[in-house]
Each structure stands twice: as structure tokens, then as C-alpha cells.
Amino acid sequence: MLIVQKFGGSSVADNERVLRVAKRITDTYRQGNKVVAVLSAQGDTTDDLYEKAYSVNPNASKRELAMLLSTGEQQSVALMSMAIHGLGYPAVSLTGIQAGIYSSSAHENARIRRIEPGRIQTELDKNNIVLIAGFQGVNRYGDITTLGRGASDTTAAAIAAVLGADLCEIYTDVEGVYTADPRVVKNARKIGELSFDEMLELASLGAKVLATRSVEMAKKYHVKLVVRSSFTDAPGTEIKEECKVENTFISGLAVDKDVASISLIGLRDRPGIAFRIFSLLAKERISVDIILQSIGRDNTKDISFTVAKSDLKQALAALETAKNAIGFTDITHNAGIAKLSVVGAGMASNPGVASKMFEALSDAGINIMMISTSEIKISVLIDAHDADRAANAVHDRFFMENEFEFAEKF
């Protein structure tokens, strides 16, 4: 078999862990498999490098940031290769460029465009274990790019796709994908199987156990993904096209703290205003999530919406500049919020989900600022201070109580 294994930052955080992972990789190799391992930077290296960069220059250029950040992953693959040699096995480490990973030009948040796997293939043919630096690529100008936070998952899924791997294992610091972040929700349970679509929703709504793009990639190229622990041998979570229906029709919940809301107050109530606001933001390449329009004073209206925290400054500046063209009296923002979502493919056919979620929040005394729904998810915006408490309350309402009744309805 050809197996791609990805190890996250905490799995390779120190020497002992590097050696443990080396053992796992070589065990897989020894069993007769071809192995490609994608590694992240050790522990908090990426955060530390960001901090270093911004302390030298708070406006560090994205090109140089990518140059610096990519060194974290390079350290990991070189060290892992040395550790594997020490165990008596053949291995070779490759940077993203050496592995033929070509990306779009956006330096710090680039997308993989294509992979030329010639070098990887040559090394595999030589019976080498191939170690690839995650999270990085090269753009058409020959500059190093990085692929966005958490993107070593994406590197792994993309490599698995292009090589036609039999399996892509994502090794991390929890035993799989849970019904909620197990570090926050104490009753969270491990999920055995999950469909690509459900995982895609969970990931995009803030469950950082897998990067969203990695799931997109795996779905598109039919890569079988398994999320499991690098510290235990427990079976993990399989993510695939079709999966058996589990007990509940809610697959899980996710919390995203990387959100901020903006409200424009006193807009004229006439056609074209929303278009002006959101086309302006689109031009700035800022994605908008939940949008709420409400009636303001004196025949005016207010529009509130959410953006990623990292886009807040730029969004406010752009809107402020266009104040007269859009025509609002006031602009306010709030970066102290979080988005809590419940996700499940079986939700569409059951009308009780929203009310159950709102009841749990109401019982916990938690105020809802905005609501947004789709076929397979319901999201609410709440105060960030309430996020962990809300996640526990909503989780337990769905997963600890009346489970029987819900399973029957489904």
C-alpha cells in the first residue's frame, strides 16, 4: 500500500516525540508499505516565528513572512529524517518546492494549484521514506509561499490525491474527530465515521482538527482520510463519501472564535445599498459570513454582518472611506464574539433542532446576537465569554439527553 501520514505540531514537539513518530513511520514502512510523511513545525514554532517577525516589524511583508514561517516545517522534516536514519531506515526530507508543490502567488495564504510528483516518485522508487515539509509551496515567481494556518493537513491530502495513495492518515493530539472540541466540551464523544460533507461543515465552522481545504481536496479526489492519535493506537475517525448512519442526526458542534461583527447604522432604505456594501468588501477580497438586516430609526435600516477577525481592520477602513457613497450615519464593531454551530446531515428533515438549540442557550442564560441556518447547520453568534459554556450546554442537550427520542424520530 501507499500511505500518506501527516503529523501535526504537537506530535513532533520535542525529541522524544520525534523519535516516537519515527518509530510509527518505520513500523508502517517495515510492514511493506510505501510511506510519505508530511510534517508540521514543532510545537508552537509557527506562532513563535510570527511573533518574532512582528516584533521586528509589525507590518512585516507577507513574502518575508512566508520565507520565515516555512523554516519551521523544514526543521521538522530534516530532524525526522535524521531520526529515521538512526533507526536504520532510508529516508529523505523534501521542502515544498522540492516536492513539486506549486501554489497561487498570495504569499501567506496561498492555494495549491498543482503538484509535480516526479521527485517524490523517484525517491519512493528508491525505497526511501519520503518526508515532506507541510504548509508550503512555491509560486510562479519562484518565491516560497505558505498555505494558511493548519495547512499541513492540506499538503497531506493533496499529496495523497496526486499519488493516488490508498490512505491518508492525519495523526494529531486527540483520538479522532469528536462531537465537539474535547478540550472544551467535557462530554464530547469520538465519532467513528463521518461523511466528507459533514466534516467540511465542521471544519469550516471552526473545528480545527482538520483544515477545511484538506477536506475539500480529499472529497474531490476521493482520498480516504483517517484522523487518529499519534500517542495511542486507538482507532480514529474515518472520513469518506458514504457512511453508516450513527445514532444521532447531529454530527457535532463547532465554535469559531475568529469572528468579528460590523454594524452599519442609519442606511437609506432603498435598492442597491446592500449591493454597494458587499461589492466593496468583495473587491477588498473580504469574505462576509452571517448578514442581518433590521429596521432602524426614521425609515432607515441597519445592516450587521460578520467577517474574520483578521479582516476587521481592513473592512472598517474600506467602509469608512466609502461612508458617503454608501450613506450610513454610524459604524460599530465587536471583536468579542464567537460563532457556535451545530452540524448534521439529518437536520433538514427534523424541525426540532433549532428550537432545541435555542432552548439550551436560553436555559443557560446565553444571549443570541445573530442566527443563520442552512440545510445541514445552524449557527448563532454569542459573546465570546459565553462560548465554552454555551458549547457544553448545547452539546449536552443534543448528545446527553433524549437521545433515544431523537434517534427514533430520525
**Residues binding ligand ADP (CB under 6 A):** 8-11, 40, 150, 172-174, 177-178, 180-183, 207-209, 252
- Interacting partner of 337 out of ligand ADP, Mg ion, ligand ASP, none (Cβ under 5 to 8 A depending on kind): none
Residues 3-32 that bind Mg ion (CB under 5 A): 8
Looking at residue 290, the DSSP 8-state letter turns out to be -
Q: How far is the CB of 201 from ligand ASP (least distance, A)?
A: 20
Residue 388: CB minimum distance to ligand ADP, A: 12
In terms of CB distance, is 73 or 198 closer to ligand ASP? Answer: 73
Cell numbers 474531490 correspond to: 220
Pairing of strands 129-133, 34-39: parallel
CA geometry: angle 77, 310, 171, nearest 5 deg: 30
Q: Which does 20 bind (CB under 5 to 8 A by kind): ligand ASP, ligand ADP, Mg ion, none?
A: none
How far apart CA 356 and CA 349 sit, in angstroms, is: 15
How far CA 280 is from CA of 42, 271, 326, 331, 349, in Å, comes to 40, 16, 10, 15, 37
Taking CB within 5 to 8 Å according to partner kind, which of ligand ASP, ligand ADP, Mg ion, none is near residue 145? none
Strands (E), 177-276: 193-195, 225-229, 237-240, 252-268
- Partner from Mg ion, ligand ADP, ligand ASP, none binding residue 209, C-beta < 5-8 Å depending on class: ligand ADP
* Of 41 and 360, CB closest to ligand ASP: 41
Alpha carbon distances (Å) from 95 to 63, 136, 319, 321: 17, 8, 41, 42
Of 126-155, binders to Mg ion (CB under 5 A) are: 150
Q: Specify the residue, 21 or 262, whose C-beta has the smaller distance to ligand ASP.
A: 21
Nearer to ligand ASP, 149 or 389 (CB): 149
Q: Smallest gap, in angstroms, from Cβ of residue 110 to ligand ADP? A: 18
Using the minimum distance from each CB to Mg ion, give the nearer residue, 96 or 150: 150
As a whole number of angstroms, the distance between CA 65 and CA 78 comes to 21
- Our finding on whether 252 is near Mg ion (CB under 5 A) is no
Kindly state the smallest distance separating residue 176's Cβ from ligand ADP, in Å: 7
**Of these partners, ligand ASP, Mg ion, ligand ADP, none, which one is at the site of residue 41 (CB under 5 to 8 Å by kind)?**
ligand ASP
Closest to ligand ADP by CB, 38 vs 277, is 38
Is 132 in contact with 36 (CB distance < 8 Å)? yes
Question: Measuring CA to CA, how many Å separate 188 from each of 6, 50, 203, 252, 402?
Answer: 24, 32, 16, 9, 16
Query: Which element (helix H / strand E) includes 315?
Result: helix 312-321
Chain residue whose CB lies nearest Mg ion:
150
Least distance (Å) between residue 255 CB and ligand ADP:
8
| Contacts of residue 271, Cβ cutoff 8 Å, sequence gap at least 6 | none
CA distances from residue 382 to 33, 328, 363, 389 in whole angstroms, order as listed: 48, 25, 14, 11
Residue 83 half-sphere exposure toward CB, CA atoms < 13 A = 21
Residue number with CB closer to ligand ADP (183 or 313): 183
Phi, psi of 330 (to 5 degrees): -145, 150
In a 10 Å sphere around its CB, with 0-12 CB exposed, 13-18 middle and 19+ buried, how is residue 99 labelled? Answer: buried
**Which residues lie near ligand ASP (CB under 6 A)?**
8-9, 40-41, 46, 72, 134-135, 149-153
Nearer to ligand ADP, 139 or 379 (CB): 379
Shortest distance in whole angstroms from residue 149 CB to ligand ADP: 8
- By a kind-dependent CB cut-off of 5 to 8 A, residue 201 interacts, out of ligand ADP, Mg ion, ligand ASP, none, with none
Q: For residue 120, which of 194, 243, 36, 4 has the smallest C-alpha distance?
A: 36
Nearer to ligand ADP, 8 or 117 (CB): 8
Residue 252 interacts with, from ligand ADP, ligand ASP, Mg ion, none (CB under 5-8 Å by kind): ligand ADP
Using DSSP bridges, classify how beta strands 300-308 and 34-39 pair: parallel, antiparallel or unpaired. unpaired
Shortest Cβ contact with ligand ADP: which residue? Answer: 8
